[in-house]
Amino acid sequence: MVGSAVKRKLEAEGFNNLVCRNSSELDLRNQQAVQSFFEKEQPDVVIDAAARVGGIMANNEYPWQFLYENLEIQNNIIAAAHQQEVDKLIFLGSSCIYPKHADQPMNEEALLTGSLEPTNQWYAIAKIAGVKMVDALRRQYDRNYVSLMPTNLYGPNDNFDLETSHVLPAMIRKFHEARINGHTPVPLWGTGSPMREFLHVDDVADAVFFALNHEMEHDLYNVGTGKDITIKDLALLIQDITGHEGDINWDTSKPDGTPRKLMDVSRMREAGWTYNIELEEGIRATYEWFKDHYDEIKEVKVKD
């Protein structure tokens, strides 16, 4: 999702010398394969949008993969970029790097000041390591590398698999399928009380483009809207957009996750960047994309 959005943005801005690989073409977990790729292509700029991602269920089910595979991916990319003296690198992470009970909104200084949310600690620890690798290379070798930490992302090419997806795409699929099956009840996890911030993937692509074209003073920047919504209100919004008229059943035996994850985006705003796409507009556009690709989506099963 993120890589394709960044590619669209760069192409729209007139860049045509792009070197892209998907996971079937280049296994980023393979150190030798990554080193050989960098030696052959000699990139000037690297945007690391690769990761194993998923929601609460996926993080709970596959803690080893979320920790180890993400460490492998980013270690190989960042080390190869450094060894090949790549001019600029953008490392993309996640707001889950911050402590579960960090002061809200969370600023960049909150990193490593408290314990993580247990349900996604594996992914968070990997991403924290990536942030610190970027910081170390800036400090020791004066590398022009920067970490961008987006809030919860959504948009075209999202993962809509109900076992591994994040909350917003999962809701889109659940409400859509419940509607076409006669407005059946929609089961959702938790109480609906946690608050989450969401950013359209085209906005994070715009933030990446901004960082590529500006000297970034700091090593770490939050990227988000600075506004959040309860999971319950998100469900009601998506229910309205999809036209579902049935009940919503909240399973309070399931975990809520972190109570609130609102980003302090003042550092990025002061650098000169802000978001453009409001949540309802973005969800409506994403739902249209989902419907256009539904036949393909329902045939795809994300493998372990």
Residue 272 Cα to chain centre, angstroms: 22
pLDDT digits (tens, 9 = 90+) for 3-56: 999 999 999 999 989 999 988 999 999 999 999 999 999 999 999 999 998 777
Binding-site residue positions for substrate: 174, 189, 196, 256
The average pLDDT across 174-185 equals 98
Looking at residue 134, its pLDDT comes to: 98
Is the CB of residue 155 less than 8 Å from the CB of residue 200? yes
Q: Spell out the SS3 assignment of 73-139.
A: HHHHHHHHHHHCCCCEEEEECCHHHCCCCCCCCECHHHCCCCCCCHHHHHHHHHHHHHHHHHHHHHH
Predicted confidence (pLDDT) per residue in 85-122, tens digit:
999 999 999 999 999 999 999 999 999 999 998 988 99
pLDDT at 57: 78
For 281-296, how does the pLDDT look when each residue is reduced to its tens digit (9 = 90+)?
Answer: 999 999 999 999 999 9
User: What are the residue boundaries of the structural domains of the chain, listed by start?
Assistant: 2-297
pLDDT (tens digit per residue) in 271-284: 999 999 999 999 99
Rounded CA gap, 240 and 166, in Å? 19
Distance in angstroms (rounded) separating the CA atoms of residues 114 and 112: 6
Looking at residue 301, its pLDDT comes to 55
**What's the CA gap between 233 and 229, in Å, rounded?**
6
Is 123 tagged catalytic? yes
> Is the peptide bond between 105 and the residue preceding it cis, with omega within 30 degrees of 0?
yes
At residue 304, does pLDDT exceed 50?
Answer: no
Supply the pLDDT for residue 303.
Answer: 45
Q: Which residues define the annotated binding site?
A: 92-95, 127, 150-153, 166, 174, 189, 196, 256
Residues 21, 18: Cα–Cα separation, whole Å: 10
pLDDT in tens, 50-91: 999 877 778 888 999 999 999 999 999 999 999 999 999 999
Catalytic residue (one of 62, 68, 98, 123): 123
For the chain, the average pLDDT equals 95
Q: What is the rounded average pLDDT of the residues 164-186?
A: 95
Q: In this predicted structure, what is the pLDDT of residue 286?
A: 98
Q: Taking residues 150-179, what's their average pLDDT? A: 94
Query: Could you report the per-residue pLDDT of 205-251, keeping only the tens digit for each?
Result: 999 999 999 999 999 999 999 999 999 999 999 999 999 999 999 99
**Beta strands 195-196 and 229-230, pairing class:** antiparallel
CATH topology of domain 2-297: Rossmann fold (3.40.50)
